[in-house]
Amino acid sequence: MIRHRLSAVLLAMLLVTLALLTACGSNKTAEPSASSSAKPSASASAPATASAPSGAEATIEIEHFMGKTKVPANPQRVVVLVNDAVEATLALGIKPVGMVKAWGVNDKYDHLKDQLEGTEIVGDENQPNLEAISALKPDLIIGNKLRQEKIYDQLSSIAPTVFSERTNSDMSKNFKLYAQALNREAEGTQKLAEFEKHVSDLKAKLGDKANAKISLVRFYLEDKVRLYYHDTFPGGILKQVGLQRPDSQNKEEFADIIGKERIPEADGDYLFYFTLEDAKGQTSATEKAWLEDSLWKNLNAVKQGKAIKVNDGVWNSSGGIIAANLMLDDLEKYLLQ
């Protein structure tokens, strides 16, 4: 009898002990693993405007000239279809996997080619190659409404696509949009601040030379020659620096195509000219013919040795923040020599 009672007591004590252990286990909080505590999730690391649906990459919404588009918060394979955006991606630390060719003879501008080794060419600004773009499997495409509006839907079917409107006389407008699309606004703000300081430093160095009247001439497309006004890439930079323009070029417009009879309108205290080279050499032949013309030789800038040939990619065609800084360097070099 006593043995049975002891067995019952022992069984009861065992059951109580098990119950207590179960209760303790149910109230214990699970500790995070080493990996989850060391690495924030995609949604935690994304900016406030980002969204990270379960199982999907974080995205940000960009408002641009074709509407609003959700793009990757950390794009890895960017294809660029406008030249000023090629400069923006490089300035912001991203090498595009694909790009349109440079204007002129060469695929890539001399001042950028070393940074673009391995980047594929996918047509030109006017005719991007959709098949080549798709083959690169981009996660972001940056283009231009003026050049590519008609194929926007096709581009968007390949990857999220953001468009600027056109190349501006104020390159910072497009640069800010590109920095947003690449989710590198902080870096973009810093780059623009550095450019603005470059402008301010040059203004200070120029002093009274900022009153010099600067003429801009471009030998463009076979026998066509343009006078460039304020609403151009180089015209906008001259304006930022505070440099003056000849009366014939002091216009809030883009440019005029001129014939030789209007060569006198190209005069100034300094005349900077640049040539868009072509495979047949026609534009270079036009440049040579104009420089040998008596009206050109009679320009005051020419007679005083202040007619200066500069790089077309830097002074016009590339149109981005890298070229803008190089143009400032040229102005300092030639105006202060």
176-229: pLDDT as tens digits: 999 999 999 999 999 999 999 999 999 999 999 999 999 999 999 889 999 999
Q: What is the pLDDT of residue 168?
A: 76
**Rounded-to-integer distance, Cα 210 and Cα 29, Å:** 71
As a whole-number percent, the residues of the chain with pLDDT over 70 amount to 83
pLDDT band, very low/low/confident/very high, at 337 (cuts 50, 70, 90): confident
Same domain assignment for residues 211 and 284 = yes
Rounded Cα gap, residues 254 and 10, in angstroms = 100
Q: Residue 123: which CATH number?
A: 3.40.50.1980
Burial class (CB in 10 A: 0-12, 13-18, 19+), 188: buried
Rounded distance, CA 78 to CA 28, Å?
47
Inform me whether the pLDDT recorded for 32 exceeds 70.
no
Query: Do 161 and 274 belong together in one domain?
Result: no
Look at residue 167 in the predicted model and tell me its pLDDT.
81
Judgement on whether residues 156 and 197 belong to the same structural domain of the protein: no
Lowest mean pLDDT among 30-44, 126-140, 178-192, 240-254: 30-44
**How many domains does the structure of the chain reveal?**
2
Q: Are residues 168 and 281 in the same domain?
A: no
pLDDT above 50: residue 33: no
**Is residue 218 domain-shared with residue 265, that is, in the same domain?**
yes
Picking from 183, 217, 235, the residue at the C-terminal end of a domain is: 183
3-state secondary structure of 215: strand
Structure confidence at residue 23 as a pLDDT band (50, 70, 90): very low
Last residue of one domain, picked from the residues 124, 152, 183: 183
* Shared-domain flag, residues 70 and 144: yes
The string of pLDDT tens digits covering residues 130-165 is: 999 999 999 999 999 999 999 999 999 999 999 999
Look at residue 82 and tell me if it is in a domain. yes
Residues 142 and 217 in one domain: no
Q: Indicate the pLDDT class of residue 169, thresholds 50, 70 and 90.
A: confident
Looking at the structure, do residues 207 and 178 belong to the same domain, yes or no? no
| Same domain for 166 and 113 | yes
Pairwise pLDDT comparison (249 vs 42), residue with the higher score: 249
| 5 located within any domain | no
Q: Which is higher by pLDDT, 169 or 67?
A: 67
Q: Which residues of 210-234 are buried (b: 16+ CB within 10 A; e: fewer)?
A: eebbbbbbbbbeeeebbbbbbbbbb
253 in the same domain as 157: no
Contacts 24+ apart (CB under 8 A), 191-194: 191/91, 191/92, 191/321, 192/321
Mean pLDDT for the stretch of residues 276-304: 97
Query: What is the H or E stretch that residue 3 is in?
Result: helix 2-26
Q: Is residue 28 part of a domain?
A: no
**Among 183, 214, 245, residue at a domain's last position:** 183
pLDDT value for 3: 42
Let me know if residue 26 belongs to a domain: no
pLDDT at 48: 31
- Quick check: is 142 in a domain? yes
| pLDDT tens-digit series, residues 89-134 | 999 999 999 999 999 999 999 999 999 999 999 999 999 999 999 9
User: What average pLDDT score do residues 18-44 get?
Assistant: 33
Provide the pLDDT confidence category of residue 59 given band limits of 50, 70 and 90: very high
What pLDDT shows up at residue 221?
Answer: 87
- Tell whether 123 is covered by a domain: yes
Quick check: 261 pLDDT over 50? Answer: yes
- Over the chain, what is the mean pLDDT? 87
| Whether residue 296 is found in the same domain as residue 330 | yes
The pLDDT, as a whole number, for residue 277 is 94
pTM of this structure: 0.82
* Average pLDDT estimate for 51-74: 82
**What tokens were used for 107?**
């695929």
Please indicate, yes or no, if residue 88 is contained in any of the structural domains. Answer: yes
User: Is the confidence at residue 293, as pLDDT, over 80?
Assistant: yes
Query: Domain limits at 308?
Result: 192-335
More confident site: 50 or 337: 337
